[in-house]
């Protein structure tokens, strides 16, 4: 008989539960866009409606390996997040903030055109 995952988790020993939770958190640190969308429980069609594009356009974005930062930021915001770009060095991380005004600059350009 199939069991509810919540029931199984509650029956786990606390140490094992902690190990599983740690693995889950590690897995969530890096994933492709399609898996991230699915983890947020959205379909391509639902995301397309939010972005006001076709489902095919969402599919193309998810398969791309190179895209505009503004495209990626729009995608991430549409699934409820915010995009930050960081440079990671041996001495530490640096937040690169020159792209913070991308959307407002794009909006100003569109308004002029």
Architecture of domain 31-112 in CATH?
Orthogonal Bundle (1.10)
- Kindly report, residue by residue over 43-85, the tens digit of the pLDDT: 999 999 999 999 999 999 999 999 999 999 999 999 999 999 9
Give 30's pLDDT tier (boundaries 50, 70, 90): confident
Average pLDDT over residues 15-32: 81
pTM, to two decimals? 0.65
Delimit the domains of the chain by residue range: 1-30, 31-112
- Kindly report, residue by residue over 39-48, the tens digit of the pLDDT: 888 999 999 9
| Positive/negative CA dihedral, 32, 88, 66, 50 | positive
Beta bridge pairs of residue 93: 88
Considering only CA atoms, give the Rg of the chain. 19
């Amino acid at each position: 008989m199939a069991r509810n995952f919540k029931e199984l988790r509650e029956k786990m020993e606390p140490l094992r539960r902690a190990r599983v939770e740690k693995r889950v958190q590690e897995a969530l640190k890096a994933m492709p866009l399609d898996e991230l969308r699915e983890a947020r429980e959205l379909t391509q069609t639902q995301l397309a409606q939010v972005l006001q594009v076709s489902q095919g356009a969402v599919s193309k974005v998810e398969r791309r390996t190179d895209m505009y930062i503004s495209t990626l930021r729009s995608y991430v915001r549409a699934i409820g997040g915010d995009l930050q770009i960081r440079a990671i060095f041996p001495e530490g991380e640096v937040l690169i903030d020159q792209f913070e005004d991308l959307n407002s600059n794009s909006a100003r350009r569109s308004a002029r055109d």
